[in-house]
Amino acid sequence: MHYITKITNFSASHRVFNPELSDEENEKIFGKCSNKNGHGHNYKLEVTVCGDINPLTGYAIDLKILKSLIEKEIIEKVDHKNLNTDLDFLKNQIPSIENLATAFWQILENKLPSGKLYKIKIFETDNSFVEYYGN
Kindly list the residues in this chain that would bind a copy of itself in the complex (CB under 8 A). Answer: 1-9, 11-14, 16, 18, 21, 29-33, 35, 37-42, 48, 53, 56-60, 62-64, 79-82, 84-86, 93-96, 98-99, 101-102, 125-133, 135
33 is catalytic: yes
27 is catalytic: no
Give CA torsion, residues 34, 41, 95, 118, to 10 deg: -150
Using CA atoms, how far apart are residues 88 and 85, in angstroms rounded to an integer? 8
Q: CB of residue 124 vs a copy of itself: minimum separation in angstroms?
A: 8
Using CA atoms, how far apart are residues 90 and 83, in angstroms rounded to an integer? 7
80 is catalytic: yes
Using CA atoms, how far apart are residues 77 and 72, in angstroms rounded to an integer? 8
Q: CB of residue 110 vs a copy of itself: minimum separation in angstroms?
A: 21
In the DSSP assignment, the letter for residue 120 is E
Of the residues 80, 98, 109, 131, only one is catalytic, namely 80
Active site residues: 33, 80, 124
